[in-house]
Amino acid sequence: MSAGNNIGFVRVMRSHDYNQFEVCLPFNAELGQANPEWVNLLRIDAAKLVDKAVADYDRMKYVMHARDTLSHGDINDHRKDVEDILTVAPERRSPEQKALVTALKNYDHFHGNDYEYDYREDEP
């Protein structure tokens, strides 16, 4: 707890998949929040937030991997799905639907360009 202002912090850190996840929640001793029960509740809330962050990270890592590894056959199989997804408002799409739309756009962009570009040729 800081000396002059009676404010402290509950910090929960977790390492997962070579990443650090950290949540820091403040409390104020002047408001009676420095008792052990209050601090423990803050610690539990911080731990739940960290667990949620790790779960979101794992889910998005899976989605990104699936998006990046779609093959030519998979893309053609999913074109109808993407057409259906595009009829849904963007804010109502699930992360998986957004990833599939992005995968199709990326696939079409990178496979629609027949030129070979090497950025090293631009160097002096």
User: Any long-range contacts for 47-53 (C-beta under 8 Å, 24+ apart)?
Assistant: 47/12, 47/23, 49/12, 49/23, 50/12, 50/13, 50/14, 50/21, 50/22, 50/23, 51/14, 53/21, 53/23
Q: What is the pLDDT of residues 64-122, one digit of tens each?
A: 776 666 665 666 777 888 888 889 898 998 888 888 888 788 777 766 655 565 666 66
Domain ranges for the chain, please list them: 7-54, 70-114
Mean pLDDT of 53-72: 76
